[in-house]
């Protein structure tokens, strides 16, 4: 008998709730929303409430998907995909890195439960600081690296394309481009490889205008935090859903994702099991990260990439100091 995919979303907050909504709307599978009880108001059950509210969109939006809200990890058993959004979001003035001590503990706890209750799942991490949190999920679950990845590039690329499309006055659908590296202010832009349906953007925009779009994409998350007082959730969720769709529909999409690298892009040459998760173009399909697409960067791109990699290594170093078993 054919079965729907089962997708569990850990952390039913802003990103988790929006993920659940879009996953159901696209009929990508049945969705479990898991969160923790509210200590101050034990009578509430937020994930159950969100699941119930979302389920009642079905007849209006015409989707069939079971939505479950729970505090109990037993309910994620048999998940094909687990999305981890548990953790604190940024407040104005904070960088993603400021979240590291609290979110490492949260993601560690979540990953222990994913390992126990959904041992065959493909895991997509969203919690920040992203590249370090994917590393934590990988170490704690012990899953093969192709089944653990982070959502960051899908979002960063979407921001980059949005600002370029506005600048050029063209449809967002006609911009092709990539951003690589860590999910921080030192993400790596690749304007030379960005085009409007194959026409290089350098033929259409001045260097200054391109740089302005790149800088706005880099600071796009911070811009939203300043406006809303908390992290973005619509576009990050859209990025997650793009990745989940590629996996459950085995689409072999090429999506910039935080994927485990050793020799690729000079991340950790010859590391043999001691590599890092960094944003790279990856082929996403039914097995998870099915392939990392490598290309030779020019000297400037590689310089930016090296800086970004070194930042990711510093963050992982902080995690390893907190939990030496993660070295």
Q: Within the chain, where are the H helices?
A: 14-25, 46-55, 58-61, 100-117, 130-141, 153-168, 207-218, 220-228, 234-248, 299-322
Rounded Cα distance between 247 and 106, Å, is 25
CB atoms within 10 A of CB 166: 12
Gyration radius (Cα) of the chain, Å: 19
Q: Which is nearer to ligand APR, 3 or 39 (CB)?
A: 39
What the block records as the tokens of 170 is 């063209």
Q: Which is nearer to ligand APR, 191 or 236 (CB)?
A: 236
- The residues of the shown chain that bind ligand APR, judged by CB under 6 A, are 10-16, 35-36, 85-90, 99, 103, 106, 109-110, 126-128, 230-231, 233, 236
Q: Which listed residue (109, 146, 183, 311) is catalytic?
A: 183
Contact of 254 with 283, CB cutoff 8 Å: yes
For this structure, is 311 an active site residue? no
Phi/psi at 42 (5° precision): -65, -15
- Helix, strand and coil in the chain, % to nearest 5: 50, 20, 35
Q: Which is nearer to ligand APR, 194 or 257 (CB)?
A: 257
Quickly count helices (H) and strands (E) in the chain.
10, 14
Q: Which is nearer to ligand APR, 157 or 297 (CB)?
A: 157
Rounded Cα distance between 321 and 283, Å, is 33
Rounded Cα distance between 1 and 104, Å, is 39
Q: Which residue is nearest to ligand APR (CB)?
A: 13
Please tell me whether residue 191 adopts helix, strand or coil conformation: helix
Q: Which is nearer to ligand APR, 7 or 201 (CB)?
A: 7
Q: Which is nearer to ligand APR, 85 or 195 (CB)?
A: 85
The burial class, CB within 10 Å (0-12 / 13-18 / 19+), for 177 is buried
Rounded Cα distance between 178 and 279, Å, is 10
What the block records as the tokens of 304 is 């930016």
- Terminal-to-terminal C-alpha distance of the chain: 43
Q: Which is nearer to ligand APR, 77 or 170 (CB)?
A: 77
What the block records as the tokens of 154 is 């899908």
CB of 63 to ligand APR, least distance (A): 22
Catalytic residues: 183
């Amino acid at each position: 008998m054919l079965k729907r995919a089962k997708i569990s979303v850990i952390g039913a907050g802003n990103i988790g709730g929006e993920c659940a909504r879009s996953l159901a709307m696209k009929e990508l599978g049945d969705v479990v929303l898991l969160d923790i009880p509210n200590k101050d108001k034990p009578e509430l059950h937020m994930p159950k409430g969100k699941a119930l509210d979302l389920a009642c969109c079905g007849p209006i939006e015409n989707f069939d998907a079971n939505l479950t809200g729970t505090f109990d990890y037993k309910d994620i058993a048999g998940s094909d995909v687990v999305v981890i959004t548990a953790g604190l979001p940024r407040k104005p003035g904070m960088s993603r890195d400021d979240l590291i001590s609290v979110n490492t503990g949260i993601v560690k706890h979540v990953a222990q439960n994913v390992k126990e209750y959904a041992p065959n799942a493909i895991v997509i991490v969203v919690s920040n600081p992203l590249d370090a949190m994917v590393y934590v999920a990988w170490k704690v679950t012990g899953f093969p690296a192709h089944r653990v990845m982070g959502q960051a590039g899908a979002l960063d690329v979407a921001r980059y394309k949005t600002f370029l499309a506005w600048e050029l006055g063209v449809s967002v659908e006609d911009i092709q481009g990539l951003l690589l590296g860590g999910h921080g202010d030192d993400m790596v832009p690749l304007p030379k490889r960005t085009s409007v349906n194959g026409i290089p953007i350098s033929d259409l925009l001045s260097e200054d205008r391109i740089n302005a779009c790149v800088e706005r994409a880099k600071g796009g998350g911070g811009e939203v935090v300043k406006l809303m007082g908390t992290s973005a959730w619509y576009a990050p969720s859209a990025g997650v859903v793009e990745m989940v769709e590629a996996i459950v529909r085995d689409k072999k999409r090429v999506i910039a994702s935080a994927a485990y690298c050793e020799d690729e892009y000079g991340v950790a040459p010859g590391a043999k099991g001691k590599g890092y998760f960094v944003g790279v173009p990856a082929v996403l399909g039914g097995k998870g990260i099915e392939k990392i697409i490598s290309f030779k960067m020019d000297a400037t791109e590689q310089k930016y990439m090296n800086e970004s990699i070194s930042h990711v290594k510093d963050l992982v170093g902080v995690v390893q100091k907190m939990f030496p078993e993660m070295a």
